[in-house]
Structures are given as C-alpha cells and as structure tokens.
Chain A
Amino acid sequence: MEVQMKKKRGLRFYLSIYKKILIQDLKSKMSYRADFVISTFGMVLTNISGFITFMILFHNFPSVNGWDYHHMLFLYGFSLIALTPVQCFFDNNWNLRFMVRSGDFIKYCFRPINVFFYFISEVFDVKGLGQFAFGLGTFIYAWNKIGIPVTVVNIAEAVLFLLTASLFMIALMNLAAATCFWIINSGYVMVIMFRFKDFAKYPASIFSGVFRFIFTFLIPIAFVAYYPSLVFVTPDHVPLLSWLSPFIGIAFFYVSYKFWMLGVRRYDFTGS
C-alpha cells in the first residue's frame, strides 16, 4: 500500500499539481487586472531602459574583444531568456528568509510532498513573461543578423543550452536563498547574487584572469549566457566547458537543491 502511494507521486504527479496551482494562481491574478497590467508594463519599461543603455554602449564600441554588435545582442537576448525561469518559477526564494524568520515556513513541512517543490510552486511571477518576450525578440533578431542556419539541430541545441543556462541562475539563487537557514542578514547575499546576473550579458573573455576564474568556477555566472552561447557565436572553436555545461548545470542545480533541503533539515523551527 505504502509503496504504491509513493510510486504515484512521481514526475507526472508533480507536473499535474504544478499545472493546477499555476492555473488557479493566474486566474486570481487576472482578477486584479490593474495590478497585472501595471506590473507587466513596469517589466517592459525596465527591459527597454536596459536595452537602450546597452545600445548606446555598443554603438560607441562596435566591437568588444572580437565580439561585434550583433554577437553582443545575441548574448544579451540569450541571457534575458535564460533569466526568465528563475524570475517566473523560482521567485518565492525571495520570500524564504521572511518566512524562515517569522516561523511561517513550518507550514511547508506538513504535506506529503517535496518541501522545495511545495514552497517554489506557491509563486508564479507573471512579470517574467515580459522579459521572456523581449529576450526572445532580441534573440531571434540577432540570430538572423549573424546568419546562424535555422536547422533542427541548431534549434534543439538552442533549447538545450537555454535550459542549461537557466539552471545555473536558478541554482545560484537557490544557494543564495538557502543561506537564510544559517545567517540572519541573508538578504544581502541574495541581492549581491542577483546583481551578478548583470555580468551574464557580457562575454566572459572581457574579464581579466582572476574574474574570469571567479565567474566560471566560483560564481558560475559565465554559464548563464557566455559559455552556452559560444556554441552558436563561434561554432568553429567551442570550448570544452560549453559542451559540458548541460552536465555541470544539472549537477550544480542538484547541489543547490540539496543545500536548500539541508537548510530545511538543519533549521530548528524555534518560536511557536
């Protein structure tokens, strides 16, 4: 009996629960139409202003370290798409520290489902969709301008490497958020980690050796766009790290998940 019950809660179970929560959540968000419109509008504005800054910068420096304008644009679009999942699906990480402090976090521990899933599934941030549309537009435009052939293999690779890239950002934010189980002012860790994402849209080759090492191996922000996009930008010499990035990404995500769950176990739920 017990074994059967456990089997039923597999991937399909979690996907169906997630879908149901998502639909309900969207329904209730739509009912706050003004809030919905304003936040989407705000996100579009944020992206436009970011994009204008980017344009001004790179019209003045037409080539950075061998990367021309359209390559930079490709990287920019790539990073925007790769940053969408963390924004849309994992936004509740930002609330983790408040819930842990107040003790409200305990409610996630009473259900017969994975605590990380239950916590993360609670929030879907629609604002990320604006960013996604914007990123996708930029990405397709740059893809055309560079003249990357539209083949099944290329598209499959694009999807694979975009997913990989987003795993890195998700893992980074998981790690940053989970520090709240150990330290009180973990908000800073999250903010700093989130700021690092701005480095993702520049080619890591512009950074000096020390920083490149840091952004590759310590805070692997270079994997959020640079390494995966090399597969398309310089198809003739793709570094080994790029090809390995899907495996590193999965491993990194797994480590971040384990760290998060370790925090849950370790946390002593003091206070009533």
Chain B
Amino acid sequence: MANEAVVMKNVSKQFKVLNRHEGLKGSIQDLFSRDYKIVNAVSDVSLTVEKGEIIGYLGPNGAGKSTTIKMMTGVLEPSSGEILVDGRVPYKDRTANSEHIGVVFGQRSQLWWNLPLIESFNLLRDIYLVPEKDYQDMLSLYRSLVDIEPILHKPVRQMSLGQRTLSDILAAFLHNPGIVFLDEPTIGLDVSMKARIRELIKGLNEVKQTTVILTTHDMGDVDALCRRIIIIDEGRKIYDNDIEHLKNYFGSYRTLRMRLGDDSWVEQVIDEKKTDVMHAIKEMQKEHKVKDIQLQEISTEEVIRKIYEGSESA
C-alpha cells in the first residue's frame, strides 16, 4: 500500500469566463459572444498528503482552495496535471472515489433536511453499504467522543448551526473514509462549539487514522489540528511545510516588552538569529531599571497575514 493519501502533480485548472457587456444591448451581444477570457484558478500545483495526516490548506478568498478540493473530490476535471486520491483518479471514477472520501462544506448541510439525524445516518449506512457491525461501532465511537444523544432524534432543519456542523462532520466520517475534506468547518460557530468540533476532528483522526484536508480562515483550527500547512495564493502554492517552520518564515522574531522604573512599557523586536532575549534584557538593565518583562511569540495568524499581504504586493 502506498503511503500517500493524495498526490497532485503539476495540476492546473482554467475556467472560461464570458466577458459580459453592460446594458440591454450588451446582454444581447453576450448571447452570441465568443469573447471569453481564461481565468487560472489553480496553476501548476504539486503536493503530497501522507495517510493519517491533518493538513491545513490555506489561502485568501479566491485563492483556488475550493477549486482544488473540487478536483480532489472528482467534481471538477483538472485542465492539466495528475491527481491521485487514494490511488484513484477522482474525476474518471467519481463514484468509486466518493466511497472512500467524506466531504463537509461548512454552512452547507448535506443531510436530509427534514429527517432526524439518526434516519440520515441510517440512509448513509445503506448508501455506502456499511456493514451493520461497523456502523454500530462507529456510532459508539461517536458517543465516546461527543454527546450525540440530544441531536440524534432531531430533524436537521431544527438544529442550530453548531449542531448541524457537528452532524455533518459525523456524517462525513460514518463510512470510515480514508480521507475527509473539511471546508471551513468552524465558520460562524461560537468559541465552545469550535473547541468541541476541533476535539472531535482530532479524536476521529487519532482513532481512525483518517487523513483530513482542512481549509479554513480560522488560525485557531490550524493551531489546534495541523502540524503541516499548505498555502496557496492566486492559484499557486506559496508555502508547504510544518507550522514550526512557518514562524521562521520571516526570520525567528519575537517581541520583548519591558516595564521600566517609571512603569512605562518599551517594545523591542528580537531577531533570534542576531541576538537573544537575555542579552537584550541585560543591555536594557545597564541604563534602566527593568521591573517586568513580557515575551510575545509571533502568532500563526500574524505570519499568515504577512504572507497573504506579501504575496499581494509582489
């Protein structure tokens, strides 16, 4: 068995978009127009995801994240390049591919709106041909990870957004897929629900060794779940490494704040490649009394923001 859950080689996706004209005359023109422009949604992206990994797939809005996910799930065909998901070409064999993946699009429930959750689960069991024993085992695993009893007999339509997201995630793991795609699973949720969802994803990944590909704008998700992240912008991959490395992306900076004798705070950005924190404190103490210090790590959020902003100006 190969150890890669997903392999993408030089994948690009172009869309043909009609150049629309304004006004009534323009609309009539559009009817017959062959005036297309080509938009590169994804350009020459190569990546590998190992089995059992939780990977953060990040990028600003419109960067090409969703397009990539749609190609991996077999909904879109790449314009060029190769994709293998669990050894299959997703677009060519969408049905076989979908047996082995789970998908959650935050805010878009895939469950039967009018049915109680347990009935949706039963239907999914039948659709994915899950053996009864595996199904019951999975339900008991769910019970051990989250309190599902209050929502199990509730129709999806009556659920809160948090309960719905929780249900959708559980539904995506139900047939024990090798890979689960989570697109902004915590969007719009309150802090405690976010934490529950993160714990659930982490738990399922640990027990079932499910590969998780997570797209999100919430760095809390990334910090809680991912060891490795991939960032794309304008369709190109611009970062693919551990989060640890990410913090060194601009050099290993930390901010040292010191409270002096007159209770005023001074800030100093420390580049650890050039100097170290203790040295900076000693230097300060030569001239001032230092009553207190704070040391701030640069947050993932700040680094990502710098990367997004950096690539915009480039």
A104-B115 contact in complex given A20-B123, A268-B76, C-beta closer than 8 Å: no
Q: Counting CB contacts under 8 A, is B203 at the interface?
A: no
Q: Flag the segment in A86-94, A105-113, A188-196, A215-223 that touches B.
A: A105-113
Closest to B95 in A: A112
- Complex contacts, A5 vs chain B, CB 8 Å: 99, 129
Summarize A's interface: helix, strand, loop or mixed: helix
Cα separation A272 to B75 with both chains bound (whole Å):
13
**Residues of A in contact with B (beta carbons under 8 Å apart):** 2, 5-6, 8-9, 16-17, 20-21, 24-25, 28-29, 103-104, 106-107, 109-113, 122, 268-272
Cα separation A110 to B112 with both chains bound (whole Å):
14
A112 touches B98 (CB 8 A): yes
A272-B66 contact in complex given A107-B105, A109-B75, A112-B95, C-beta closer than 8 Å: yes
Cα separation A271 to B108 with both chains bound (whole Å):
13
Q: Counting CB contacts under 8 A, is B206 at the interface?
A: no
Cα separation A272 to B62 with both chains bound (whole Å):
8
A106-B75 contact in complex given A112-B98, A268-B15, C-beta closer than 8 Å: yes
B123 touches A107 (CB 8 A): no
Rounded to whole Å, the gap between the CB of B12 and the closest CB of chain A is: 14
A110 touches B98 (CB 8 A): yes
- Complex contacts, A20 vs chain B, CB 8 Å: 122-123, 126
Q: Counting CB contacts under 8 A, is B11 at the interface?
A: no
Cα separation A269 to B108 with both chains bound (whole Å):
14
B73 touches A25 (CB 8 A): no
4 further interface pairs, Cβ-Cβ under 8 Å (given A104-B108, A110-B75)? A106-B105, A107-B110, A112-B96, A269-B76
- Complex contacts, B129 vs chain A, CB 8 Å: 5, 8-9
B105 touches A28 (CB 8 A): no
Rounded to whole Å, the gap between the CB of A38 and the closest CB of chain B is: 17
Cα separation A25 to B15 with both chains bound (whole Å):
38
- Complex contacts, A268 vs chain B, CB 8 Å: 15, 76
Q: Interface readout for B7-19 with A: 1 if CB under 8 Å, 0 if not?
A: 0000000010000
Q: Counting CB contacts under 8 A, is B155 at the interface?
A: yes
- Complex contacts, B75 vs chain A, CB 8 Å: 106, 109-110, 269
Closest to B75 in A: A109
Cα separation A271 to B69 with both chains bound (whole Å):
12
Q: Counting CB contacts under 8 A, is B94 at the interface?
A: yes
Cα separation A197 to B260 with both chains bound (whole Å):
86
Max count, chain A CB within 10 A of own CB: residue among B99, B103, B122, B127:
B127
Which residues of B, 27-77, contact A by the 8 Å Cβ criterion?
Answer: 61, 65-66, 70, 73-76
Q: Which residue of the partner chain, among B70, B76, B103, B115, contacts A24 with CB atoms under 8 Å?
A: B115
B70 touches A112 (CB 8 A): no
- Complex contacts, B250 vs chain A, CB 8 Å: none
A269 touches B96 (CB 8 A): no
- Complex contacts, A122 vs chain B, CB 8 Å: 112
- Complex contacts, A24 vs chain B, CB 8 Å: 112, 114-115, 119, 123
Rounded to whole Å, the gap between the CB of A124 and the closest CB of chain B is: 11
Closest to A16 in B: B126
Which residues of B, 126-156, contact A by the 8 Å Cβ criterion?
Answer: 126-129, 155
A111-B127 contact in complex given A106-B70, A106-B105, C-beta closer than 8 Å: yes
A113 touches B110 (CB 8 A): no
Closest to A23 in B: B119
Cα separation A236 to B310 with both chains bound (whole Å):
83
- Complex contacts, A9 vs chain B, CB 8 Å: 129
Cα separation A110 to B114 with both chains bound (whole Å):
20
Rounded to whole Å, the gap between the CB of B16 and the closest CB of chain A is: 8
B73 touches A17 (CB 8 A): no
Cα separation A24 to B153 with both chains bound (whole Å):
13
Rounded to whole Å, the gap between the CB of B89 and the closest CB of chain A is: 14
Cα separation A214 to B76 with both chains bound (whole Å):
38
Rounded to whole Å, the gap between the CB of B13 and the closest CB of chain A is: 9
A28 touches B114 (CB 8 A): yes
- Complex contacts, A111 vs chain B, CB 8 Å: 98, 127
B108 touches A107 (CB 8 A): yes
- Complex contacts, A113 vs chain B, CB 8 Å: 95, 127
Cα separation A80 to B61 with both chains bound (whole Å):
50
A112-B119 contact in complex given A5-B129, A25-B114, A28-B114, C-beta closer than 8 Å: no
